[in-house]
Structure 1
Amino acid sequence: MAAHVEVERKYEAGSGYSLPDLREVPGLSAAAEPRTLTLIAHYYDTADLSLARRGITLRRRTGGTDDGWHLKLPRNKGGRDEIQRPAGAAGMPPPPELADLLLAHTRGRPLVAVAEIRTDRTERALLGRSGTVLAQLVDDNVTGIRLEPRDEGVTAWRELEVELVDGEEDVLDAVGEHLTGSGARASEAPNKLSIVLGADAAPGGHSVEMRSTAQVMSAYLSAQAARMLAYDPRVRLADHDDDSVHKMRTSIRRFRSILRTHRKVLDRSRVNPLDAELKWLSDVLGEVRDLEVLRARFHTQLADLPGRLSEPGWLLEMEHQELQTRERLRDVLRSQRYLALLDRIDAMVTDPPVRRKAHKAARKQQQKIVARTWRKMTDAYQEAEKAPQDGDQNAALHKTRKAAKRLRHTAEAAEPVLGKQAAKIARRAEKLQDVLGDNQDRIVAARHLEQMTPEPGSTSDAYTLGSLTTLQRYDDPLTDLPRTWRKVADRKLVKRL
């Protein structure tokens, strides 16, 4: 199922509002003749609105040019991924393939119709100088009725929406300025459904003021759990490297880092089993991610080799392995073990098993936790310096990388109470992590190539394999290590917390 990226701006307007002359917008030459239509949409969710509270909408809509089921998933930096399926017969449940994408949110609970929204729409294509449709402006008179739980009240409003077509986002900004300049107001509602459902669809959140370590920890864990859930549908959709597997896996790693660096304020008898399950999921994601990284590395290096070389058979086989591994990952994401893990994550976020000391003032305790994590990283690096320059040193550097990663995540979590200095520590730890990560990628790539054999009789395959093996041997990312290490190992970093 392909996802279309929806980029739009929404505005509120009163019943007496009149659209301004859009030809005055820079870059626009005209607005096409208006077209009117009536759209009827039924929105589906769990009874407790688990989708709406995360900004996800699932609807069956009729009356327009895109009749059918529409699933919209919010993106981190604005816009939404929209996935469409045919409408099918009225009254039928949501398509199984869309329900599967939402399994992490629904946990198998039924999807029921929660709202009906009628939209009387007037739409205009906004044209550029060459006649290209840059954006679409719609003027909607909307009527919404809540269905579950039944509410006899009717909500009605007027809404303007500008959606990008073949233009750039600055077109949306320019049109928006023109609309607000003539009396429209930027809408604070993420979508029509949120207006009908009201406060019941509002996302939960943590207080900005964090007085205790327990609050700091809970806020960070909550953010990582939400991020992991946000990437779950995209992992299920992906058949290539779109960064979703990586982002979901890093959310889990951040979660695990905090459980470990805050172990003294947590009940380990409850946390350790959760950490083991998180590692299981991270390892499953890692099987896909490792192949993604290797294939991307080899493709890039292959393109840099002289001559027009065909893709070697062993690299094509890696692509096949990655597709198989992705399918195994999808099976895991459908499993009861995974759904049970999500429930345990929710419990950890909403009611963390903290000890009494976790309720102490956050600042002093977070200073100690970050400093202790920093010392563990420096100890790991000192061991690497003493290790012989062979596999033992590489293993020690890999341990240092993991310690730097843990320091980065711990400092990120502490930033709300420790401020810019914590952010500085996180940035420097990330740079060390990147340098050591590049080295680890090189080592893993070299080991993988050692196991490859060229196709019998293929001179090109043998040449490609030999050239790539040589590149791993002489590509040394550790040249930047001393300078990077000096910055992150500076004792002033933790003393100024």
Structure 2
Amino acid sequence: MADTTREIERKFESRDSGLPDLTNVGGIAAVVDQGVMELDAVYYDTPDLRLAASSVTLRRRTGGSTPGWHLKLPVGPDTRDEIAAPLADRPPAELLRLIRSRTLGAEVVPVVRLRSARDVRELRDADGGLLAEASADAVHAERLAGGRGEAQWTEIEVELAEGADPGLLDLVEKRFRRAGVRRSDAPSKLARALVETSPDDDAADAVPGPHRGKPVTAGDHLLAYLREQRERLVALDPAVRRDLPEAVHDMRVATRRLRSALRAYRPLLDREAVAPLADELRWLTRELGVDRDREVLDERLTAAVEALPAELRTGPVRDRLELWADTRRGETRPRTAAVLDSRRYLDLLHALDAFLAGPPLRKTARRKPAKPFAKALDKEFGRLSRLVERAVALEPGPERDSALHEARKKAKRTRYAAEAARPVLGKAARRLAADAKSLQRPLGDHQDSVMAREALRSLARDAAKALEPTFSWGVLYGREEKEAALAEAALPDRWAEVARRRRTKG
């Protein structure tokens, strides 16, 4: 099993191998010399450098205190997750799975070799606690693929110790600036090596990057949004595989946003070309929904059980719920993993990239964006209106539950379509997105209660078969009925307010 650490660090340019004095900077009381270590790392990527384009690195390193394979995934500014695996001749399968959404099945090959002499200093506080590690690295880079070339430079890295205050990096950078040491422009050693060993005349293009250019036409704006969501979907793939909190939810949202944009703004696109991609996005949304719905329901029922007063908790309620949740998790997690490992998912990512590389735009996509985007949102709101009004008019019962659920899904699609229009329509789009989100709340509360009541009936049946008391499950069921009634009661007024604002928009 691979080990994961959160790495927070900054890199600085250095004109020599010296490290400026950091004593008394941000509580640093001592700078302890740890000697020089020799590092030899070979970086792997696809021949067209897809990992580098996403600021992802995969390397095999010998020497130093942590030899082995290391995969680094960007998390935020100055922050990456480093996932380590034991040293082996070939890239470990568990790491290759985590980059599959980026490599799209292409082989990874050695692209750069970096040999570094690392002069290490530990930065400690007055009690001897480790605050950070600073190193001056003399780097020699050799290009292994995409041309032959070599480069040398010296840089300084400052990496925070676990639990250290990130503000320390700001203080260190301030001290470095005074000493004439500036922040590195390159996000990683690999990125710098690719530029400095590039065989091309224009080294700035050595590392491929995301699509650039300010959107002008309606088609430009739509494609910019679709690319953004595509990048988010791909970036969330490893988080879902690692079972990180909210990862399934966030990936499902990105998938829904892609599909919603394709549906809402389909007058800008060739429908026949878009339909297969929209269908596959719908498939992925549903598959991710199995695990996400399980997460939501587990959290809701766990909170409900914990909120029960002791006098209303009869029998092994917690144990029964835990067993039930573990069983369901054992079913949904492998299913999600199988989806991400499937050929169908890989084909979807290929199709999405092909669509963005050669978008099937219609002539209307060449127009200025305001009118097509506003017209699309008017249609989305019209569809939402019909669904909500139908649901509100129905009598309470299964038919109304189903209608409310459809209205909830449409409210989400309307919200996502409005979010895509924000750069074009500004305040009007933000207002519609907020209104759609406000409708999601009572509709979502109602649907969650419907699902919770189905689960509670199942839990009560299992408890009865085991000759356990079912009283607590009945209490929880009654509470969920009340929650659903409150949500239904709140919807008409909420909808009336949203409809009024929409009538008087602008």
> Normalised by the size of structure 2, how large is the TM-score?
0.90
Q: How much identity, in percent, do the aligned residues show?
A: 35
Q: What is the match of residue 372 of structure 1?
A: 379
Alignment deviations for residues 86-122 of structure 1 (CA, whole Å, 9 cap, x no partner): 112xxx2201121122222222221110001122212
Q: Which residue of structure 2 aligns with residue 43 of structure 1?
A: 43
Matches within 5 A, 1:153-232: 153-198=150-195, 199-208=205-214, 210-232=215-237
TM-superposition CA deviations, 1:378-400 (whole Å, max 9, x none) = 23222222122223333222222
The one-letter code of the counterpart of 1:440 is: Q
Q: Deviations over 1:181-206 (max 9, x none)?
A: 33222223221111111233242223
Tell me which moved more, 328-337 or 218-227: 328-337
CA deviation after TM superposition for structure 1 residue 339, in Å: 1.2
Match of 1:436 in 2: 443
1:126 aligns with 2:129: no
Aligned position for 2:200: none
Give the aligned partner of residue 468 of structure 1: 476
Corresponding residue for 2:13? 12
Q: Does 1:418 align with 2:425?
A: yes
Give the Cα–Cα distance (whole angstroms) in 2 for the partners of residues 15 and 2 of structure 1.
Answer: 34
User: C-alpha root-mean-square deviation of aligned residues, in Å?
Assistant: 2.4
Secondary structure of the equivalent of 1:311? Answer: helix
Q: For the Cα contact (< 8 Å) 1:51–1:57, is it kept in 2?
A: yes
**Map of 1:101-112 to 2, 5 A cutoff?**
101-112=98-109
1:44, distance to aligned residue in structure 2 (A)? 0.5
* 3-state SS of 1:285 partner: helix
The Cα shift of 1:402 comes to 1.8
Distance 1:128 1:300, change over 3 A: farther
Give 1:95's aligned residue. Answer: 92
Provide the secondary structure at the position in 2 that maps to 1:185. Answer: coil
What is aligned with 2:27? 27
1:282 equivalenced with 2:285 (yes/no) = yes
The unaligned stretches of length 5 or more in structure 1 are none
Distance in 2 between the 1:457 and 1:109 partners? 52
Q: Which moved more, 1:336-345 or 1:253-262?
A: 336-345
Q: TM-score, normalised by structure 1?
A: 0.91
Where 1:186 maps in the other structure, the secondary structure is: coil
Aligned twin of 2:53: 53
Does the CA-based 8 Å contact 1:133-1:166 persist in structure 2? no
Single out whichever of 370-379 and 107-116 deviates more from structure 2: 370-379
C-alpha change, 1:224 and 1:150, in structure 2 (3 Å) is same
Tell me, in whole angstroms, the C-alpha distance in 2 between the residues paired with 1:95 and 1:18.
36
Question: Aligned to 1:123, what secondary structure does the other structure show?
Answer: strand
**Deviation larger for 44-53 or 92-101:** 92-101
Shift of 1:272: 1.3
Q: Check conservation: 2:222, 2:420, Cα contact below 8 A.
A: yes
Contact 2:18–2:136, Cα closer than 8 Å, also in 1: no
Query: How much has 1:233 moved relative to structure 2?
Result: 1.6
Contact 1:53 1:202 in 2 (8 A): yes
The answer to whether the 8 Å contact 1:29/1:129 transfers is: yes
2:199 aligns with none
Specify the alignment match of 1:237 in structure 2: 242
**C-alpha distance in 2 between matches for 1:378 and 1:285:** 28
Deviations 1:384-423 (A, max 9, x none): 2212222333322222222221122112211122224323
How far apart, CA to CA, are the structure 2 residues paired with 1:488 and 1:117?
A: 59
Q: Is 483-492 or 141-150 further displaced after alignment?
A: 483-492
- Alignment size in residue pairs: 489
2:324 is the counterpart of 1:323? no
Alignment of 1:319-398 (within 5 A): 319-398=326-405
Structure 1 residue 78 displacement after superposition: 5.6
Alignment correspondent of 2:202: none
